[in-house]
Structure 1
Amino acid sequence: MGGFGVINYALLDEKRAVFGAISAVLSYPEKSFINDRFLLLETFENPKTLALITAFWEEISALTFGEITETYVDTFDFNKKTTLYMTFYKFEDARERGQMLAKLKVLYEMFGLLPDDAELTDYLPLMLEFIDAGDWYLDERSGDSIELLIGVIEDGSYHLLQALEEAGNPYRFVIEAMRNELRVCVKQGEEKQHVE
């Protein structure tokens, strides 16, 4: 994203459905995956994001459903370089990573999303689902919390995108689209005010 600016919460709120749709695309593919693309494509108004998601669908649609699920598993479950767990890239120390996962769990619960204990709290589709479904907008507690969430997504997805691009993986388009939408919601060039 090239530096972190000030989050435009109103715009992030307007784009909830966009992040929900990206979460759905990044989740394990169900049988309706290919047919759902038409509904999902209607969600994207940003021309760059729409072009990226369309490029993903064009590549992935050439595969059978079995090949799609195999691609998903090979990409996100069996390759450490392309994991959907966003803190994996930054925290090698299990204790530090555990602390960040606990912070994210508290954040989700504070804003009304009760994550399934089967997934770690830094799982990208869950993080995007939180942006979509959490009750964070206009809550005075959301400032630092949303900054933390977006910071974790930005850091992790940067490394994820690099690895996906290097591999020529179709999911690179989805991650780039997500990063584009986050970038739109962050006012660049403004210094963040830190109050201690």
Structure 2
Amino acid sequence: MDANPVYQWFSALLCYPEADLIEALPEFQTALNEWPELNAQQACLKSFLDYLQSHSLRELQEQYVATFDRNRNHALYLFEHVYGEDRDRGSAMVDLLEEYRSRGFELGDEELPDYLPVLLEYFAQVPADHAQKLLGDAVHVIAHIGGKLEKSGSPYAVLLQGIAALSPVPPQPLVEPPVRDMDEAMETFGPDIAGTEPLLKPAVETVQFYPKNAYTAQKGAVL
């Protein structure tokens, strides 16, 4: 059993919708009703479950692709929003991989470490205090994506907002990431996931979900 099942709940709902997800919606509703940490977001999150229930699987899949695969502003890859094509993105990927491996969490062959549903799966399996610490680091990016989804009128916005509401620290607005020449990025990263390997570090002390000055702290806020 997952240590923090609420994160697993969000992770499943953020994945590409399949028939088994729709069949399990009553179980998702039951969990929503029972978990006190979701009480404040219950009405909004129920509206998302109702959205899934009221559309055909084909409609849901088409909308998911249009929302996340065809719109870079909504990408669920966290580092996309803070590093863009900057070379530091590869280093951040490696740091996050090391975090996963340090606790025995292995990714599938085609999964990237900064994919939000993957990160939430990890949160579900580690001690609650560690999950909260990492969420406090990542919440700025998560809330940023949620804001983009809300502006576009996407029903998925409430999921990102619900995750952000679990954070022990309030989110701060992000600075838009730099854009690098694609040829230079290919030279840096290579054509596939293995392109990050030259950026390996001898040791990892902490996971950085955003580079220095990636978000604008409010006056007087404690970072």
**TM-score category by the smaller chain?**
0.7 to 0.9
* Equivalent residue in structure 2 for 1:70, among 40, 53, 62: 62
* Equivalent residue in structure 2 for 1:156, among 141, 160, 172: 141
1:95 equivalent to 2:80? Answer no
User: Cα offset for 1:118?
Assistant: 0.7
Match of 2:31 in 1: 43
Q: Distance in 2 between matches of 1:178 and 1:104?
A: 19
Q: Distance in 2 between matches of 1:157 and 1:187?
A: 12
Match of 2:99 in 1: 107
1:86 equivalent to 2:78? Answer yes
Structure 2 unaligned runs (5+)?
171-219
User: Cα offset for 1:129?
Assistant: 0.1
Between structure 1 and structure 2, the one with the greater Rg is 2
- Of the structure 1 ranges 153-162 and 101-110, higher mean CA displacement relative to structure 2 is found in 153-162
Q: Distance in 2 between matches of 1:77 and 1:153?
A: 21
- Partner SS state of residue 165, structure 2: helix
Q: Is the 8 Å Cα contact of residues 97 and 113 (structure 2) preserved in structure 1?
A: yes
Match of 2:19 in 1: 31
Q: Distance in 1 between matches of 2:52 and 2:86?
A: 35
TM-score (norm 2): 0.68
**Identity fraction in percent:** 27
Q: Distance in 2 between matches of 1:158 and 1:190?
A: 17
TM-score (norm 1): 0.76
* Equivalent residue in structure 2 for 1:127, among 89, 106, 119: 119
- Report how many residues are paired: 169
**Higher relative contact order (Cα pairs below 8 Å, separated by 6+ residues):** 1
> Structure 1 residues 59 and 167, CA, compared in 2 at 3 Å: closer, same or farther?
same
Q: Is the 8 Å Cα contact of residues 48 and 155 (structure 2) preserved in structure 1?
A: yes
Which runs of structure 1 show a deviation greater than 6 angstroms over 4 or more consecutive aligned residues? 187-190
Match of 2:200 in 1: none
User: Cα offset for 1:150?
Assistant: 2.1
